Amino acid sequence: YSKEITVDAATSLPTDFSLSQNYPNPFNPSTTIKYAIPENSSRITHNVSLVVFNLLGQEVATLVNTQQPAGNYEVKFDASNLASGIYLYKLQAGEFSSVKKLILMK
């Protein structure tokens, strides 16, 4: 018989890029955005950017713009200086890009 092995799934590294829907949504005045950067064979860091845009395509906030290693991340977005409305947030890391919608209701 072999020894029992336990794996803590909460601390394991992700295998795929992902961008989660913000919560709460709609929100006022702050929300949380989660994303995951997978581990790759060369263990290099990725240049990660997480940017919020209005519906005209104008950048209203840059939440992340840095090199990040593989892992699960969480960012708080405070929109107290923005008007109510629909906004888009975009995660870009290497070749991966994903956009989601968030709604600010004051």
pTM of this structure: 0.85
Question: Distance (Å, rounded) from C-alpha 72 to C-alpha 87?
Answer: 23
Per-residue confidence at 15, pLDDT binned at 50, 70, 90?
confident
Residue pair 80/30 in contact (Cβ under 8 Å)? The answer is: yes
Three-state DSSP state, 94: coil
Three-state DSSP state, 12: coil
Residue pair 83/29 in contact (Cβ under 8 Å)? The answer is: no
pLDDT for 11 equals 61
Look at the chain and count its residues: 106
